[in-house]
Structure 1
Amino acid sequence: MSKDLNKTVVYSALEVANICGVVNQTAINWIRNGYLSAFSTPGGQYRVYQDNLINFMTERKMRIPADLMKDGDVDNVSRSILIVEDEKGLNSVIANYLEEKLGDVQVFQAYDGFEAGALLADKKPRCVIMDLNIPGIDGFNLCSKIRDSNDFGKPQVYVITSLTDEGIEKKVKDLGATEFFQKPIDMEDLADKIKKYSGF
C-alpha cells in the first residue's frame, strides 16, 4: 500500500484481493469489467483509491475491515451514523446505545424528511438508520434516492419500522436497504449488523 503526497490511501490489485478475500485475478477482473474504479500506473499496474474500494464493498454488502475504515486519512465522517426517526425518545435511545456500543462514532439525528435530506447531503454518513414513516417524506422514496444518488456518499441503509405489510422487507431491500428491523428493535442485533456490514 502506498500514499501520494496528499496522503491519499491507494491499494494495488493484490491488496484489494487480500482485503476482499479473493484471488488477485478476480480483483483484476473487477477492475477490467468496470465494477471497481481504478487507475493505471505508467508501468501498467492497477491502483485503487480507498474511497472507491469502500464504496465497492458497501454496494455489495461485503464486510469492511475496521482497519480499512481507520487507515490513512479517513476522518470521523467515515464512522458516522444518521438516525432518521421522528419519535425523539427512540431516536435518542438508539443514538446513546450506538455511541456506547460502537465507541468512536459520530451520530447525527434527524426527525423529519427535511432534516434527513440536509444531513445526508452535508455529512454523508457511513450508514443511515431510518424509519419508513417520516414526516415530510416517503421512506420508500428516500431509500431509493439514497441508492440512486451520488450526492449522499452511498451510505448503507438500515430500515426500522412498525409496519407489518406482507413483503415489506423484500421491498425495502430491493430499494437498496442493507438490513430490515421490525419494532421493537433488537438493539444488540442492530449494532452487530452495523459492525458487520459497515465496518464500525
Structure 2
Amino acid sequence: MARTKMKERVFSAHEVANICGVVNQTAINWIDKGHLEAFRTPGGQYRVYPDVLGSFLQNQGMRLPDELRKILEEQAKIEQILVIDDDRSFSDQLRQVLVSHFPGFTVNQAFDGFEAGRAVPTCKPDVVFLNLALPGVDTLKLCHRIKEDENLTRPLIICLIGAETSEARAQEAGAYEAGADVVLKKPLDPASLPPIINELAERRATRSS
C-alpha cells in the first residue's frame, strides 16, 4: 500500500527571514538576485521548497531549524518507485533489479502518459524513472509537473534518453531545467541503476544532517 504523504510544506519569504535572522526585504533580495531559488504563488507571493532552503542554509553555515530538519529527513526516505517507460522489456528488467536490490521498496510501472497520470497521485513516488521518448507525451512538462507537485515531496527524477544525437542533447538540457536529478543514456544496464539511486538518496539525506 502506498504511504500517505502530507502536502509538502513550503516557506514564505517572511519565514525564511525569521529562520536566517534577517529582515524580510533581505530574504526577498536573495530571491530576486538568484541566491535563493523560489517560486511564486498565484497571488504573487514567494515560496521556497524545504530542500532548497536546507541547501541554502548549509551553504551559508546556518543552523537548520528542527521543523526543517524533520521535513528533510522525511524527504530523504525512499519507499515508492515509479518507472514510466513504454519499453515493457526494459521496464520489467528494471523492476526486477530494483526489487532484488531494495526489497523494502514498492516498484510501480506506467507504460504510457495516461497510466503515468493515474500512478503519480496514487503511489506518490519518491523516485521516478522517466523515458523522455515516451510517445504522445510532452515528457519535459511531465517531469516538471511531477517535480513541482505540492502533494509530493519533490521526488528524485531519473530521466532516460536515446542515443547521442542533437535531439537527445536538447532533451538532456531540457530535462535538467524541468527538474531532473540525473539524465542517463539508453541503452543501459538496469543493474547499473541501484548505485545511482543510493548516491542520489545519500545526497538528499545529507541535507537533513
The answer to whether TM tops 0.5 is yes
Percentage of matched positions with identical amino acids? 24
Distance 1:195 1:132 in 2: 22
Which residue, out of 161, 177, 181, partners 2:184?
181
Which residue, out of 55, 67, 76, partners 1:48?
67
| Superposition CA RMSD, Å | 2.9
SS at match of 1:134: coil
Distance 2:114 2:70 in 1: 27
Counterpart residue number, 1:75: none
How far apart are 1:49 and its partner, in Å?
5.9
Distance 2:73 2:117 in 1: 22
- Equivalenced residue count is 146
Counterpart residue number, 1:122: 122
* Alpha-carbon spacing, 1:31–1:108, altered in 2? closer, same or farther (3 Å): farther
Unaligned runs of 5+ in 2: 1-15, 21-26, 28-47, 55-63
Counterpart residue number, 2:137: 137
TM-score when normalising by structure 2: 0.60
* Alpha-carbon spacing, 1:94–1:49, altered in 2? closer, same or farther (3 Å): same
Counterpart residue number, 2:201: 198
How far apart are 1:53 and its partner, in Å?
1.1
Distance 1:87 1:191 in 2: 19
SS at match of 2:101: helix
Conserved? CA contact 1:128–1:156, under 8 Å: yes
Counterpart residue number, 1:102: 102
Could you say which structure has the higher strand fraction? 1
How far apart are 1:132 and its partner, in Å?
0.9
Distance 2:135 2:147 in 1: 20
Distance 2:18 2:95 in 1: 37
**AA matched with 2:197:** I
Q: Which moved more, 1:173-182 or 1:127-136?
A: 127-136
